Each structure stands twice: as C-alpha cells, then as structure tokens.
Chains A and B, each alone.
Chain A
Amino acid sequence: MKNKISISNRELTYRLSGEIDHHSAKAARELIDTLIQQQRPILLRLDFSDVGFMDSSGIGLIMGRYRMMTLYGGRVTVVNVPDELKRMMQLSGLGALGVLEEKGEVYETAE
C-alpha cells in the first residue's frame, strides 16, 4: 500500500490505497497510530479515494482509530468512500458513530 499523509492545523489526513484486508491493515494501523502519537491531531481524516477493495478489516481499522482518537479527545472522519465499499460501511454501523462523510464533500474545508 502506498499511502499519502498530510498534516495541517492539527488535522491529520491519511489517504489509504490498494486493498485493505487483515494482512495489509496491520501496517496501515501501525503507521497511523505512530502518527497520532507524534502529532496529536484533533482530527484524523481517513481518505478512501484510492481503496479498490476492502473487507471487514477496514472496519476494524476505522473503529480502532476511532477509539484511539476519542481517548485523546479528537475525532475521526471517513471521506471519499468509493461506491463499491459503501455496503460494507453501511453494514458496519459506523454511520451511528458519525464518522462517515458523504462523497463529494471537499474535505480540505472541514473545520
């Protein structure tokens, strides 16, 4: 997975790419957690634009980061979810946590 990271105004944007499964989620998880601990952002933005496949490991990845950010008093937002992944996101109940943003929103303007 080639992932892109940008940080500004204590907002950390992490753009995931490729396929997210149990195997690949591990590396992404470790990287994001290190960044959270170093940067202490108030907002973690997970950008799914370049994700071509995802199983429920992607849900675990989001939920785990949600817990961590909540612990630090921050929040998580999930942006640019491709249509193929929407059913998985809906099934997960993540919507109830208020982390899913509608596709098409320009994430740079958040906050």
Chain B
Amino acid sequence: MKLLNEMELCFESRSSNESFARSAVAAFIAQLDPTVSELNDVKTAVSEAVTNCVVHAYKNTIGRITIQVRLMEDGQVVLKIRDRGCGIEDVHKAMEPLYTTAPGEERAGLGFAVMQSFTDQVQVRSVVGKGTTVTLKKRLSRRVSNG
C-alpha cells in the first residue's frame, strides 16, 4: 500500500508530554479527514501507549519516547510507539485486562485492552532491558478521496 505521508516525534517520558503526544498525532492525522470519533479513538490509544512508557518502561527515570505515524493511501494509520526502557517480561500477561504492575499509581490495568478496543490491530514487540515497540493500526473511513 502506498505511503501518503509520514512523521516521527521524539520527546522525553514526562507525564506532561502525554497530552502533547496525543494532540500532535491527532493534528497530523487530521489531513485524512477523520471523524470526531475516529480522532478520539486514536488519541485514546496513543495516550494509553505513551502512558505505559512513562509509568512502566521508564519507571523512576526519564527516557525518550518515539512515535512514528504513517498515513497510507487506503486510509490506514500505522502508529509505532517506541521506547528504550525496561521491556516487558511477559507480553501476554501484560495485555490481560486488569493486570497491572503499578497499582500504587492507580492504574486500572486497562491500557492494552483500551488500545485493542479503540484500534483495529495492536502488536507488541518487547525485549527485556532493551525496550518495547507498540504498533497500532487503524483504518479511517475515507470521506474524501485523494486526500
């Protein structure tokens, strides 16, 4: 599938950047003319992924988070949220709803469940000690052809 546009964003894993990240991604995908609901879905999924980096990957430290967004010709948005943090030992366990390793932070354990519900596909690649890449895919209903 032909790539229409691409951007990459790199920022520090500070919680104040959570809103920056989802807003920046939303601003970029706006050129595909998404519905309000689609935009909200993407913002929510990005917010969950970035929060995971802040709370888990770089727990007690500050590192870099990179978001790559690719807009495809068929209206598909491919998002890669990457960190170089601690990694996830058991990805399947981490993706179970209500499972959290940070109850003190009042995490509901819903991060991955929300990403799965709000996008079409979630893929997680993680190496302990090296970092994690979460790939999210979502197809937008193209209301305008040749955007």
For window 76-91 of A, CB contacts with B under 8 Å fall at 84, 87-88, 91
> In angstroms, how far is the closest chain B Cβ from the Cβ of A43?
21
In the assembled complex, A22 has its CB within 8 A of some CB on chain B? yes
- The main secondary structure of chain B at its interface with chain A is helix
Q: Is the CB of B106 within 8 A of A55?
A: no
Number of chain A residues whose Cβ lies closer than 8 Å to a Cβ of chain B: 23
Q: Is the CB of A22 within 8 A of B51?
A: yes
Query: What residues of chain A lie closer than 8 Å to B40, measured between beta carbons?
Result: 53, 84
Task: Name the interface size band of chain B.
Answer: 20 to 34
Query: What residues of chain B lie closer than 8 Å to A53, measured between beta carbons?
Result: 22, 40, 43-44, 47
- The main secondary structure of chain A at its interface with chain B is helix
Interface string of B94-120 (1 = CB under 8 A from A): 000000000001111011011001100
Which residues of B are at the interface with A, using a C-beta cutoff of 8 A?
15-16, 18-19, 22, 36-37, 40, 43-44, 47-48, 51, 54-55, 105-108, 110-111, 113-114, 117-118
